[in-house]
Structure 1
Amino acid sequence: MSSENEALLIIDYTNDFVADGGALTTGKVGQSIETNIIKAANEELRQGGWVMLPTDVHEEGDPYHPETKLFPPHNLRNTWGREFYGQLKDWYELNQSNSKVRMFDKTRYSAFAGTDLDIRLRERHIDTLRLTGVCTDICVLHTAVDAYNLGYNIIVNADGVETFTEHGQEWALDHFKNSLGAQIK
């Protein structure tokens, strides 16, 4: 049950991470959660909650960013790859003027690292975060760890997160529950 003290985070649900042909795509498994993410976003707003869309952004060839050494270029600013995937693009265009919907850039795995997310959440008296998006064992995980360390209650929509491998998915869901005290729904 959502409330005004809760925020849904839709993490990195972009073409590069989800679409066929995306630079670093989860492919069909990432695409399979699309409807569940839209349903969760609509429900969050209906119940008076907030929807935050922390979205990975990079500059091509940035020699100072650690991901440059690990992954191919992805989510480059002003590219198709960084646009929201599928229905989320339309949903965001329809809802972006709603004061309870906010998209923002992030440049690290965690939605908290180098952003004002914690300040914005505390201003709004949000104490519970519902996590969706990709990748379960990378950006969703690092966001959850930071949320745990900052004292937030964590709920992970198991049908709203995905990653590259089944092992990574299972491991991350277990870690959320057993090490971060998250509710898995």
Structure 2
Amino acid sequence: MKKALLVIDYTHDFVARDGALSCGEPGIALEEYILDLTRNFLDASDLVITLNDIHEKNDPYHPETTLFPPHNIKGTAGRNLYGKLHDLYEERKEEIIWTDKTRYSAFAGTDLDIKLRSRGITELHLVGVCTDICILHTSVDAFNKGYNLVIHEKGVASFDAEGHAWALRHFENTLGAKIIR
């Protein structure tokens, strides 16, 4: 079974203490796990894709504009991958696919499905933030497209502890995802 690692929204704005929409300590605590997992996938020549939120400042047509403070604004440092993952990306960017996304699901409005299917990928490993928003919506779309899901519990976090716990149960009990604890 060919697999891919999807690193979702692990950016400065979503993780750093001074990020515009940070999940704070829970997100920061993921750094080493995500970094090690990314290295393992790259070293095994498995596919790694970072899927990163991108927004226009004060976009009146985007539904998130009224829900959240401005975040991951095009052209800002807030869109950089967080911490050491940014450094790894800079070192090995020819091996990592960067994909911009404008909605919660990494499949909505992107060519992610084409990238995965053209490489014969059938199993998706998901890490990043937020468990109950972008990880959740991406997982539901992946499930509906027939992918096998693996969620790394030590690789996902949210600013909503209850939402995080609910989403982990949902991945396992409703989407049939394998949870790596």
TMscore range, shorter length? over 0.9
1:50 paired with 2:44, answer no
Deviations 1:127-185 (A, max 9, x none): 00000000000000000000000000000010000001221111010000001000000
Structure 1: distance between partners of 2:62 and 2:52: 16
| Counterpart residue number, 2:176 | 181
How far apart are residue 115 of structure 1 and its match?
0.2
1:161 is matched with which residue? Answer: 156
- Residue type at the aligned position of 1:63: P
Unaligned runs of 5+ in 1: none
Q: Which amino acid aligns with 1:6?
A: K
Match for 1:41 among 38, 41, 44? 38
**1:127 and 2:122 correspond:** yes
Give me the identity figure in percent.
54
TM-score if structure 1 supplies the norm length?
A: 0.96
Partner Cα separation in structure 2 for residue 45 and residue 60 of structure 1: 34
Measured against aligned partners, the alpha-carbon deviations of 1:91-113 in whole angstroms (never above 9, x if no partner) come to 10011012xx2001000000000
In structure 2, what is the equivalent of residue 104 of structure 1?
Answer: 99
User: What's 2:56 paired with?
Assistant: 59
The gaps in structure 2 that reach 5 residues or longer are none
CA offsets 1:58-116 (integer angstroms, 9 cap, x no match) = 00010110000100000001111111110111010011012xx2001000000000000
Return the alpha-carbon distance in structure 1 between the equivalents of residues 81 and 39 of structure 2: 16
What residue in structure 2 maps to residue 148 of structure 1? Answer: 143
Number of residue pairs matched by the alignment: 180
Query: Which consecutive segments of 4 or more residues in structure 1 shift more than 2 A?
Result: none
TM norm structure 2: 0.98
Write the distance in 1 (CA, Å) between the matches of 2:42 and 2:87: 16
Partner Cα distance (2:147, 2:160) in 1: 27
State the alpha-carbon separation in 1 of the partners of residues 115 and 80 from structure 2.
Answer: 23
**Match for residue 82 of structure 1 among 75, 79, 84:** 79
Q: Aligned partner of 2:63: which letter?
A: P
**Where does residue 170 of structure 1 map in the other structure?**
165
Report the CA distance between 1:48 and its aligned residue.
2.4
**1:12: which partner in 2?**
9
